[in-house]
Structure 1
Amino acid sequence: MSSDFWSRSFERIARLIAPRTIRVRRKPGAPSPSQRVPRPRLGSPSGFPTMGRMDSDWEGEYDNAGGCRNTVYTTPQTVIAPEWASVTIGFLGTQPLDRAIARIAATAGAKVSVLGAPLEPKLRTVAAHADPASVVKGARYAILPVFAPGRSTQANTNASFAPERAYGSALGGMSTGARLIAPRADAALTRHAAALGLTVHSYEDLLRPILDAAGEAIDELFSRVEKAGSRLQGSPVCVIAGERIPDLLILRLLDAGARVHLATNERGLDDVFPGVAVLPLSELPVQSPKFDAIFSTINGPVVDARELGSLPDHALVVDLADPPGSVDFQLAKQLGRKAIWARGILRRVPSLGQAYWSVIGGLIASLEQNES
């Protein structure tokens, strides 16, 4: 047989076994992905027998598939995670974000000390102290208060706050060769640390790309909300959340002037977001009539006939959950509700605690490896 016969045969076999791909289906004017994407699994997920493939004129079926990327900073592959049980870290910040990072560090296995009240629920590897000197005594790392983006930025960047004045000689009780982890390392803090035999390491440059990428994803979401004819300024909106609280989304909604409500069964969040009303998920059907928009982040049948039927006619429903999602889109269309399936966007928007620890933990891991 000729070589052309075998060549054509191998080409046919290659086409048969090649992964099936589809072009991203998008509305006119939406950005095109840079390449083809794997064919998604479609069908009617359990819990939503009527929810399957959406009509082509519904924005958000596949147009964000190319953006389902995780941009959270992780330690380079050449950096080996340390034996966290031998790492002692003192957290000097007392805000919810500082404590969220401390909890993640303790969950990783590090020995953690926090300033102020104990973490709830309590963790075996976390100790709470009333004064900074006790928090950092004998610690290898001290984490200075973090600067959260959003509404709290002005308070966090208050020029009157300076770590070298706030903690003074208390930092001198750390272990030999200990390190300060700070958002920024200015000259005054560096000189003060050097006088105590400490070194300062900043992470602002590493953190900025993560927050910038998350901000771009939320900008994309808000652009689609505006395109749908909904306005956020002065509007009552509800964010539905499970264990993972989308704090960056909430902060941006507040900055946009929305009156934000958080529907969740998680406890202890009443004072975490000033100006946000927290309500249990069981009250959502009763409260729905007053919302102009609902942003759902729970992967499961949450926004169904009860919520969709009680929403105002002009209300917008945004499903931010991964497939199978949380909104019954076919019922929403039957009821004339505006709806957006913004699948994959939250993969680009980590929680603030995860974003900060991915950088701080990666920095500590790198420092530990350099010392070994």
Structure 2
Amino acid sequence: MNQQNPMVTLAGQSTYDAWKRRLPKGGHRWGAPRERGLQREMLTGKHVAFIGGDARQLEVIKSCLSLDAKVSLIGFENLQSPFSGATNREISPELLATVDMLILPILGTDEEGHVDSIFTTKTLVLTERDMRALPPHAVVYAGIAKSYLKNLCEEATIRLVELLKRDDVAIYNSIPTMEGALMMAIQHTNITIHGSNSMVLGLGRVGVTLCRSLHALGAQVKVGVRKPAHVARSVEMGLLPFSMEELANEVGDIDLLFNTIPAKVVTEAVLKKMPYSAVIIDLASKPGGVDFAYAEKRGIKALLAPSLPGIVAPKTAGRILAQTMTRLLAKEFGEEGSSP
């Protein structure tokens, strides 16, 4: 055995050392790998405006300030600890005409243009006039975009980036989502996850992370899928796959049901077959995938829990967004960026 590392054979020592050298100094504390090569001056002279949001936005603001961007904040007047170097402003075409990057909350706007913010009591509305004021090279960032925001950007010929459609952001985000879902399951049941009959609907990016964690905790995990590839992946992971068409026939003995599908899949017909003691945790975006009215009528506890990362781990969720945003902004507006 090699004296440098008694757990690694001589034949494997060089591979181990090479792998160890590639690790970031100090490791990474929150899951997502650190990005290299981003210089402080990279956003010097660029104007970033934030409209609304929650605690996740604070990490992105910090990143932009650290890269020497000019930062304007709209809907942040009630921050307990204001940012040094950032300026509180109001939405106006005059302000937006100078903006290179417009950063909206994870949920973007609603269908009337309202933007949520936990740091103000004012009503924030993004209008067509505002969007048309942006310069042609500007980019709008949001987690997801409803049709209102998509139409505004399309009509103003402004590029829109939906961060949660990116695999990297969605996969990293699935970690705090999974932890929040498990927290809710523990809070709202009187059984352990270990040994429970758990069901996950959907084997997307959140579904995979959730299934893996439930399985690791000793739950019997059924997973509702549609694609043959997801059936194969479920079997490989040690799960019990079934076709979503058979959902009503599979729920008779479950303790926990986690839905990740943003469509009404847990219908009255499904709820009629579920035990009264079951708990449903709906992780899909509003309005969710559960008939909540009928669940309440039948006495089944059903909880709608979208946007869990911003609730249970806003700092981590913010860092995930900040890392991705920093990389995108640097690529877009750095030395080799195409903007003027």
Q: Indicate the structure (1 or 2) with the bigger Cα radius of gyration.
A: 1
Is TM (by shorter chain) over 0.5?
Answer: no
With CA pairs under 8 Å and 6+ residues apart, which has the higher RCO, 1 or 2?
1
Q: Identify the TM-score tier after normalising by the shorter chain.
A: 0.3 to 0.5
- How does the TM-score come out when normalised to structure 1? 0.40
- How does the TM-score come out when normalised to structure 2? 0.43
